[in-house]
């Protein structure tokens, strides 16, 4: 039985850490104990004489936990990573793939995985061992929430203080670069900036670039669909959601038992919203295909669903780009500015996608390859055309999207 999932980085971002890292040990211990991420990071680094950013050897992890009253329960290595194999309460689980030396560590609280991704969704992961502590695992309504809340409150305060420092630094930077400021004001602003940056280990990049890719929080989440063999239109829909709506999100497909899993990975909020939209459209299209042709998996119903996806509205940016093909943007300053802004957005999207693929390798040990499947049964052109007409009339309600004020 798979376990529910709560995204939790253990307070890493709140403590000012950025960039990609294989820090699952630090993260899991911070979540389980309620300790501040920075403190756990420094303690593990001191004990191992190596940066915990790229992982911690099992021997140092075991010594660290034993010194703090945690007990280890070994597994045979072939037990499934699910709720039936773990006790209730706070558990630090060590999982891995069969016949592979690399391990992943995560915290499970009352059979809910607290991590940046859920290894319980992946059938390739097996339970290797787990750690428990009588100090935090005796009551689900008492000590456990207290330990978790204590760490969360400290991290929240840290994040608020961190954001306050960044706002202060940006204000000082604006003063220093403002032509209307006097030389004395500029000098004082630069001096205060330098002092704050040295004290909090910040760089100018942290100040100027509010959308720094290095500070993005990534995740990987699965959306299961019925059937081990996915429908073509379901994959078309995943491609539509990631290509036209949430462009910073990417997807791939896998299987678990008799079900197909559509994996979405990228920035946390975008992944959550992409899955919500994907599920909503899956239900809408499948229901419409059933009403029109009695099914959605094969025959005319599948062709209708494919047409429906093909007819779904594309982004406003793509429509504008299509309308402006062959138009000389250089003659219109407004068009040129919009084109430049679009280029910056596209560049950032590519940077996010590259960072997400690297995160997938570093954190999950997954390196994707491209493959193509075979063609399907006879295609019903009439059903597909009907579906395309219906899809074109679909009004998208994109979760998490900011509403823009329309120009009159």
pLDDT value at position 205? 57
Spell out the residues 6+ positions from residue 75 whose beta carbon is closer than 8 angstroms to its own. Answer: 85, 126, 127, 128, 129, 130
pLDDT tier, 400 (very low <50, low <70, confident <90, very high otherwise) = low
pLDDT at 328: 53
Q: Decide if 98 contacts 137 (C-beta within 8 A).
A: no
- At 204 the pLDDT is 61
Show the tokens assigned to 104.
């992943």
Residue 227 DSSP symbol? B
Q: Sign of dihedral through CA atoms 102, 107, 112, 116?
A: negative
Contact in structure between 99 and 124 (CB atoms under 8 Å): no
Q: Check: CB of residue 176 under 8 Å from CB of residue 189.
A: yes
In the numeric block, the tokens 């060590």 are attached to: 94
Could you give the CA distance from residue 25 to residue 103 in angstroms, rounded to a whole number?
10
Query: In angstroms, rounded to a whole number, what is the distance separating the alpha carbons of residues 64 and 47?
Result: 8
Give the mean pLDDT of 312-331: 55
Band of pLDDT at residue 143, cut at 50, 70 and 90: very low
Smallest CA-to-CA distance from 304 within 384, 388, 406 is with: 384
Rounded CA gap, 351 and 345, in Å? 10
User: What pLDDT does residue 344 have?
Assistant: 62
pLDDT of residue 95: 92
Q: How would residue 199 be classed by pLDDT, with cut points 50, 70 and 90? A: confident
pLDDT of residue 160: 59
The mean predicted confidence, pLDDT, of the chain is: 81
pLDDT above 80 (res 140): no
Strand runs labelled E in 86-124: 90-97, 103-109, 112-115
> For residues 167 and 139, what is the distance between their CA atoms, to the nearest angstrom?
41
Q: What distance in Å separates the CA atoms of residue 176 and residue 191, rounded to the nearest whole number? A: 10
Residue recorded with tokens 């329960």: 73
Phi, psi (5° rounding) for residue 235? -70, -35
Question: How many residues does the structure list for the chain?
Answer: 408
Cα 56 → chain centroid: 23
Least trusted range by pLDDT, from 1-5, 52-56, 134-138, 320-324? 320-324
Cβ atoms within 10 Å, residue 341: 10
- Give CA separation, 51 vs 42, 75, 167, 181, 377, in Å: 9, 28, 30, 43, 55
- The one-character DSSP state at 83 is G
Instruction: Say if residue 147's pLDDT is above 60.
Output: no
Q: What percentage of the chain exceeds 70 in pLDDT?
A: 78
- At 338-374, the pLDDT tens digits run 454 456 677 888 989 999 999 999 998 888 887 766 5
**Mean pLDDT of the region 108-112:** 93
Choice between 210 and 203, residue whose per-residue pLDDT is larger: 203
pLDDT tens digit string along 156-188?
445 556 667 777 887 887 787 777 778 888 888
Q: How many CA atoms lie within 13 A of 335 on its CB side?
A: 12
Average pLDDT on 245-260 reads 90
C-alpha–C-alpha distance, residues 359 and 50, integer Å: 21
| C-alpha to C-alpha distances, 144 to 110, 140, 147, 408, nearest whole angstrom | 9, 6, 5, 55
Q: What is the pLDDT of residue 6?
A: 94
CB count in 10 Å sphere of residue 80: 15
pLDDT at 33: 92
At residue 141 the predicted structure's pLDDT band, cuts being 50, 70 and 90, is: very low
The predicted structure's pLDDT at residue 145:
42
pLDDT band at 287 (very low <50, low <70, confident <90, very high): very high
pLDDT band per the 50, 70, 90 thresholds, residue 13: confident
Strands 259-267 and 112-115, by their bridges, are unpaired
pLDDT digits (tens, 9 = 90+) for 87-100: 899 999 999 887 77
Cα 256 from chain centre: 21
Higher confidence at residue 198 or residue 21? 21
- What SS3 class is residue 228? coil
Q: Rounded distance, CA 93 to CA 359, Å?
A: 21
Q: What is the pLDDT at residue 386?
A: 94
E strand or H helix that includes residue 223 = strand 218-226
pLDDT confidence tier of residue 75, bands split at 50, 70 and 90: confident
Task: Report the pLDDT averaged over residues 389-402.
Answer: 82
d(CA 68, CA 174): 47
**Share above pLDDT 90 across residues of the chain, in percent, rounded to a whole number:** 42
């Amino acid at each position: 039985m798979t376990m529910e999932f709560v995204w939790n980085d253990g307070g890493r971002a709140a403590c000012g850490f950025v960039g990609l890292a294989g820090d699952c040990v630090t993260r899991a211990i911070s979540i389980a104990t309620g300790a501040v991420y920075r403190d756990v990071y420094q303690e593990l680094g001191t004990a191992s004489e190596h940066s915990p950013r790229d992982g911690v050897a099992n021997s140092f992890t075991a010594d660290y936990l034993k010194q703090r009253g945690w007990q280890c329960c070994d597994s045979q290595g072939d037990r499934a990573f699910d709720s039936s194999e773990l006790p209730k309460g706070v558990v630090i689980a060590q999982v891995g793939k069969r016949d592979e030396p690399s391990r992943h560590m995560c915290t499970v609280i009352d059979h809910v995985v607290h991590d940046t991704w859920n290894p319980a969704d992946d059938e390739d992961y097996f339970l290797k061992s787990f750690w428990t502590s009588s100090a935090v695992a005796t009551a689900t309504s008492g000590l456990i929430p207290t330990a978790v809340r204590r760490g969360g409150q400290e991290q929240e305060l840290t994040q608020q203080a961190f954001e306050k420092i960044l706002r202060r630094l940006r204000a000082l930077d604006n003063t220093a670069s403002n032509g209307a400021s006097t030389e004395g004001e500029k000098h004082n602003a630069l001096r205060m900036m330098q002092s704050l940056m040295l004290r909090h280990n910040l760089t100018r990049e942290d100040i100027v670039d509010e959308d720094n890719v290095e500070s993005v929080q990534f995740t990987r989440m699965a959306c299961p669909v019925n059937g081990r063999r996915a429908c073509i239109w379901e994959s078309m829909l995943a491609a539509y959601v990631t290509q036209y709506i949430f462009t910073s999100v990417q997807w791939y497909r896998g299987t678990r038992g008799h079900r197909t899993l559509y994996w979405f990975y990228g920035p946390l909020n975008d992944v959550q919203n992409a899955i919500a939209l994907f599920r909503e459209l899956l239900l809408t299209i499948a229901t419409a295909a059933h009403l029109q042709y009695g099914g959605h998996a094969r025959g005319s119903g599948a062709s209708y669903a494919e047409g429906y996806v093909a007819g779904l509205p594309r982004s406003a940016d793509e429509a504008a780009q299509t309308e402006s093909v062959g138009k000389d943007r250089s003659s219109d300053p407004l068009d040129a500015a919009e084109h430049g802004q679009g280029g910056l957005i596209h560049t950032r999207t590519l940077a996010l996608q590259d960072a997400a693929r690297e995160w997938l390798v570093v954190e999950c040990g997954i390196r994707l390859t491209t493959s193509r499947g075979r063609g399907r049964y006879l295609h019903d052109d009439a059903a597909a055309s009907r579906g395309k007409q219906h899809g074109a009339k679909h009004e998208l309600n994109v979760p998490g999207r900011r509403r823009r004020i329309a120009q009159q």
